Structure 1
Amino acid sequence: MQSGPERMQPGGGRNAPFGALERRIARRYLGARKSEGGVAVIAAISFVCILLAIAAMIIIMSIMNGFREKLIELTIGSEGHMYVGLLSPDPGPDRIRELEDRLSTLPGVDEAFEFSENFAGIQANGQLTLGRVIGIRPQNLDEFPLIADNIQSGSLDGFGQGRGAAHRIAIGVHLAASLGLSAGDRLRIMTSRTRSTVTGPMPVMKVYTVGAVFNTGLYQTDLNYIYMDLDQSQLLFSNGRKSGEIQMRLIDPDQLEVAARQARDAAGEPVLMQTWKDRNSTTAQALRTEQIAMRMIFIVVVIISTFPILAAMIMLVKNKSRDIAILRTIGATRGSILRIFFLAGSMIGSLGTVAGLAFGIVFCLHINVVQGIIEALTGVELFPADIYHIDTGIPAKVVWGEVAMVALCGFVISAVATFFPALGASKTDPVEELRYD
């Protein structure tokens, strides 16, 4: 039977690396009061700092993801995610229908349909302006909730119906205001196509009835966009010829590269291709910049939050230098000392990270409840729907990949902040520490 103090040698059981003995000593050091050389108060402060930093980043990144999703939804709510154009000047209805069917069945594609897009002069009540005329089938227009769900006056029920001047179209609220129009009024659309008359070439034009006025909340869309039946649009702008343009809507608007590659293969011939990011390059670049900036800020915040851990470990090593010397004299190796203090610091960082993750995720999943409580206490509406065009409260989308990245960074940065004081503790010379005791 071994006599004397238990020697801390590597091996199985209690004295194994990171074993029960080393963990117990690490816990005792963290929980010790200041009078005993411990750093319990500073350790608690460090824990709270890590918790708040991790939780704040989860909440902020989730809210930014939610706003990003809403911004994309608003930006492309009246447009497609991808556009495929045949190079043939008159591909014919059979070829268009075949391409529609092929693109619609691709993985990740929600729908694909023919459309047309032209610029034209819009005239009414003595006013003239330029507008973008979108030709689309009525059933496809219903798939654009930003338009279909935001009709300010009139209705889409009769969209594309009517004969002659009674043919019903939909226009934006700002375009209607600039021309003094409301639902039921008539306007004239003038194209760049001309026809010969006795007085010379005249632009082809036609009168239409405003069947619906929509208000998307996007100024450029509400000022410039006009929707009309696809057949009418092709008759007006190209004398009935097919445009050869297919609009695609994806299940995930960010999966553009994969969808583009699949669409080119499905077309079986050279095609022109454009994505929503190409058409909204400024918005797309702003979103990319925002993501990069948020990740940089996150790393800086987590690094700053580890400073209390670094200070706590330096103080703990200084206060426990005599204990370190005693442990060394009874057989503890430098590796064992390093592991004890590394465990002590890692406990703070790990527990703070886990608690921060839990708090941040729960906060995001119940963010509308939190918003309601704050609004009830302050009497102030945090996100007015008429300003932000978000009627579902604060948008928050938890991306689990980003949560994993936050957790990994929290663990790694905390471990790095702990390692160097622990390394210093392992280099303590027991002879020098005990010389005058």
Structure 2
Amino acid sequence: MRQPYELFAGLRYTRAKRRNHFISFISLASMLGIGIGVTALITVLSVMNGFERELRTRILGMASHATISAYQGSLPDWPGIAKAALADKEVEAVAPYVEGEGMLRLDSGLSGTLLRGVLPDEENKVSEIGSHMKIGQLTDLKAGEFKIVLGSELAETLGVIVGDKVDLMIPVASITPAGVLPRFRRFTVAGIFRIGMYEFDRGLVLIHMADAQSLYRMGDGVTGVRLKLHDLFRAPAVARDLAAQLQGTFYVQDWTRSHANFFQAVATEKMVMFIILSLIVGVAAFNIVSTLVMVVQDKQSDIAILRTLGATPRSIMAIFMVQGSIIGIVGTLFGVVGGVALALNVETLVPLLQALTGHQFLSPDVYYISDLPSELKSSDVIRISMLSLALGLLSTLYPAWRASRVQPAEALRYE
């Protein structure tokens, strides 16, 4: 009896065999409801974290962590800007690029595309395009050879393979004896890449930067410089610092701004799923209310005896808060264990379920991400646990208050 008697009595009520088995059933149902809700929340948020990680990795495998470009026109002194950017300890690598829009033509097939001129060796330092080549190598792009690398979807649309000739037209006019014509050049397909993002696989082509400069008649100028950072989540701060340090008028942009709408949509979806699945925990918490109300009704004589022995209303309230909180704590504990176990093994369990059912949940013919990724974050587990425990505690307040209002004389009148 070294522990406070409120805690002792609350635990005793929890362990005691109840005469009313219906109350025991509702208590068990409340524990299971909280456990299932917590498990579902942890698992779903982990899967959504996994999808966000995969999408971020694939997008930033082609896009840059940050870019420095001219406010208007091109950057004539890009080596100096690259050197100044590399002086920042947060910057890991830099690479120049030339970017524009164009149209590819093969026989009667036409397709609009985004054109990017790169230095192959430097580009491999800031992007993962080299590791996603299906056919050929990025280093096959040589200055003056006018070779081109296509995305897999674009190559399939045009029906081209390595070695085919394609005409690249850009929206820049050339004055010829025949009149004003769009500028074009014939390129040889040197490679095909597949990133796993339709935006890039369908709409991006790469050529050597010198060929792009010649095509756009930019001389030694470039569109901008791409940066790779040691910590991609530091990109906004690094972009602000570089914008303040660089002498001249430049446009500095980081990946959180260039893809703001996409990642904001993912964050909004995670928040909505969290709110919806939290309702499962909320419903289970309401079951605790009904359980304790019936327990209070069943234990009115016990409450009256405790009051006559000197127990205060606050002590009676604490006894039933302890009893209700035990339900929430046990349910949360089972939910956390189940959710963590499921989140850590979802990438193993899903293929097993697919093999047992003979049905593939994410067909690679339809979805670019055909696996179900999962990334368990301790912050999510802590947040969900705190929510569950808080709802469990709040659900005990009204029944405990009702118990503290029981009058001994009224409760013992017919005993």
Aligned to 1:29: 13
The 2-side partners of 1:219 and 1:390 are apart by 11
Matches within 5 A, 1:287-436: 287-390=266-369, 393-436=371-414
CA gap 1:244/1:226 in 2 versus in 1, 3 angstroms: closer
- Residues of 1 paired with 2:276 and 2:351: CA distance? 28
Counterpart residue type for residue 305 of structure 1: A
The residue identity in structure 1 corresponding to 2:241 is: Q
1:66 aligns with 2:50: yes
For residue 310 of structure 1, what is the amino acid of its counterpart? V
Cα distance in structure 1, aligned partners of 2:413 and 2:321 = 26
Give the structure 2 partner of residue 85 of structure 1: 69
Could you report, residue by residue, the CA deviation over 1:109-143 in whole angstroms, capped at 9, with x for unpaired residues? 44332112111232322444322111112124435
In 2: Cα distance, 1:36 partner to 1:205 partner: 86
SS at match of 1:242: coil
The equivalent of 1:44 in structure 2 is: 28
Matched residue type, 1:397: E
| Count of aligned residue pairs for this structure pair | 415
Please tell me whether the aligned partners of residues 41 and 274 of structure 2 are also in contact (alpha carbons under 8 angstroms). Answer: no
Question: Which of 36, 41, 45 is the aligned partner of 1:57?
Answer: 41
For 2:297, the aligned partner's letter is K
Aligned to 2:98: 116
Query: Bigger shift: 61-70 or 185-194?
Result: 185-194
Select 1:175's aligned residue among 148, 151, 154.
154
Describe the superposition over 1:177-235 as per-residue Cα deviations: whole angstroms up to 9, x where unpaired: 34332110112222333444444444443222100122334334233211011222122
The residue identity in structure 1 corresponding to 2:99 is E
Distance 1:23 1:328 in 2: 16
Amino acid at match of 2:290: A
Q: Which residue of 2 aligns with 1:159?
A: 140
Q: Which amino acid aligns with 1:134?
A: R
Query: What is the TM-score normalised by the length of structure 2?
Result: 0.89
The answer for unaligned runs of 5 or more in structure 2 is none
Query: How far 1:278 sits from its partner (Å)?
Result: 4.5
Give the superposition deviation at 1:158.
Answer: 4.4
Where 1:395 maps in the other structure, the secondary structure is: coil
SS of the residue 2:376 aligns to: coil
Q: Give 1:59 shift.
A: 0.5
1:195–1:201 contact (8 Å) kept in structure 2: yes
Matched, 1:286 2:265: yes
The one-letter code matched in structure 2 to 1:47 is: M
Q: Contact 1:337/1:425 (CA < 8 Å) preserved in 2?
A: yes
C-alpha displacement of 1:162? 6.5
Which residue number in structure 2 is paired with residue 98 of structure 1?
A: 80
Structural RMSD (CA): 2.7
Contact 1:88 1:244 in 2 (8 A): no
SS at match of 1:206: strand
Q: 1:61 deviation in Å? A: 0.7
Identical-pair percentage: 25
**Could you tell me whether the CA contact under 8 Å between 2:50 and 2:374 is conserved in 1?**
yes
Which string of whole-angstrom CA distances, capped at 9 and with x for unpartnered residues, describes residues 359-394 of structure 1?
211211122232243234323333344443336x42
When the two structures are superposed, what TM-score results if normalisation uses the length of structure 1? 0.85
Q: Please report how far the alpha carbon of residue 246 of structure 1 lies from its aligned counterpart in structure 2 after TM superposition.
A: 1.7
- Map of 1:211 onto structure 2: 190
1:28 partner amino acid: R
Return the match for 2:120 from 134, 138, 150.
138
The aligned amino acid for 2:205 is I
C-alpha change, 1:115 and 1:91, in structure 2 (3 Å) is closer
1:9 is matched with which residue?
Answer: none
Query: After superposition, what is the alpha-carbon deviation per residue over 1:47-87, rounded to whole angstroms, capped at 9, x for unaligned?
Result: 11111111110001111111122223334432223322133
Moved more, 155-164 or 313-322: 155-164
Q: Could you report, residue by residue, the CA deviation over 1:15-72 in whole angstroms, capped at 9, with x for unpaired residues?
A: xxxx343222112212233327894333222111111111110001111111122223
Aligned amino acid, residue 373 of structure 2: P
The range that moved more, 379-388 or 406-415, is 379-388
Instruction: Report Cα offsets for 1:237-270 as digits up to 9, x if no partner.
Output: 1332312512234455555432332231232443
For the residues of structure 1 that align with 2:84 and 2:310, how far apart are their CA atoms?
75
Gaps of 5+ in 1: 1-12
